Structure 1
């Protein structure tokens, strides 16, 4: 029987330094023996997320001795071509013309498609069977490359294109932001929630000055509003359960 050469206990997390990818990192560390991370520079306005990645990684690993022993290499790649092709306010451009007027102006065409394709290429070289990404259809902001059907189709494509049985995991696919906070609490308790709250970055405008109870951000962009509303719902649920 043919073997793939991929480590069945090895995982690669697409890790931006934001709330979702930090939760996915903890999720992966809780399940796999060898976990690596990958991040991408693509001309994002909120490039500050790339400067907090190492702190977030280190602080998450420090929460659990087992997690610390599982967390391995970090990789960062230049994916600037995305910003050149998919101009949007998220990459410092003006809102581009969209084929569908239902898409938000922060949609960057091909971003997640390219991220996961590049991640699969890296996972192939590193011998890692599992790829984890924080895309979510429940709170997907209208991005079609975050849909479950998209990810399933992409898994088929990369597996056929590499002749390797990768598994793309989407732990957040069917949960909202409040449940994402709750998942972090389930995985690492108040300590992990605090790391995500204080160290991760989500704000599309790159605001790293204003610290709210839910984290840093302008408080006005779509990412901040989603994170803030999720935090409030999470806090209400905790109080009700107490």
Structure 2
């Protein structure tokens, strides 16, 4: 029986939604983040803000929320020539992938998360990867996650689950999921409260911009991450009849 989970928590929209989902389904949840020299380093600061606001607004969930861990994996940034680890323009590469793709990032993150989970007695790794409404990263695909789950379970000699609650959701559905989970946790306005927490405190923008406030949150409004988040917000609000 899997009752204890480790959420790969970046401080962004997707991982915050995954955290809500995990706290709904598991008895004990811990979080892990990674400092890899990312250009949008501000996301690491926002992680703490989100967790603090989370504990204050949702006490029932806070009772299940355990320790937070941050690992230094700067070597990943040093071996990566990408627009997430270097000051360069966002563009598509000749091979068809955006230059925001950091090779091996999710593979390394999940391997390190599995090692920590082993030591902490956690058997589920929750990650916000998605291949429905995403940038085309090969290490976000369902097949990659299934293969890695097998490899990690064999390598750790224990059954580990890689849980991907957003895999088949587009960004509009992710906003809706956050609302539904918040409402379930607190029927007296929890849905709107969780959405507003995500809007106000999470960080997605690859440029690390928190000077510009949009309806969907802070960001440059032009990078691929902002485009996905903004488009999902617009679709979700339109589907809800809010214009």
Gaps of 5+ in 1: 1-6
Structural mapping, 1:155-166, within 5 Å: 155-166=149-160
Please give the residue correspondences for 1:93-132 in structure 2 after superposition, counting only pairs within 5 Å: 94=88, 101-132=95-126
Matching residue of 1:59: 53
Partner of 1:140: 134
Q: Which deviations, in whole Å up to 9, do the C-alpha atoms of 1:159-183 show, x marking residues without a partner?
A: 0000010111000000000000000
Structure 2 residue runs of 5 or longer lacking an equivalent are 183-190
Aligned twin of 1:197: 199
CA contact (8 A) 2:39 2:87 kept: no
Contact 1:120–1:158 under 8 Å retained in 2: yes
User: For 1:180-202, what per-residue CA distance to the aligned partner results, in whole angstroms no more than 9, with x for missing partners?
Assistant: 00000000100000000010000
- 1:13 corresponds to: 7
Between the aligned partners of 2:95 and 2:129, the Cα distance in structure 1 is: 21
Give the Cα–Cα distance (whole angstroms) in 1 for the partners of residues 109 and 225 of structure 2.
20
Given that residues 24 and 132 in structure 1 are in contact (C-alpha distance below 8 angstroms), is that contact kept between their aligned partners in structure 2? yes
How do residues 164-175 of structure 1 correspond to structure 2 at under 5 angstroms? 164-175=158-169
Give the deviation of 1:83 after TM superposition. Answer: 0.8
Aligned residue for 1:215? Answer: 217
Contact conserved, 2:7 with 2:126, CA < 8 A, in 1? yes
1:63 Cα deviation after fit: 3.1
Instruction: Spell out, residue by residue over 1:88-107, the C-alpha distance to the aligned partner (whole angstroms, 9 max, x if none).
Output: 01111558xx9961111110
Residue 140 of structure 1 and its aligned partner are, at CA, apart by 2.4
| Deviation for aligned residue 1:8 | 2.6
Q: TM-score, normalised by structure 1?
A: 0.92
- Of 231, 235, 238, the match for 1:236: 238
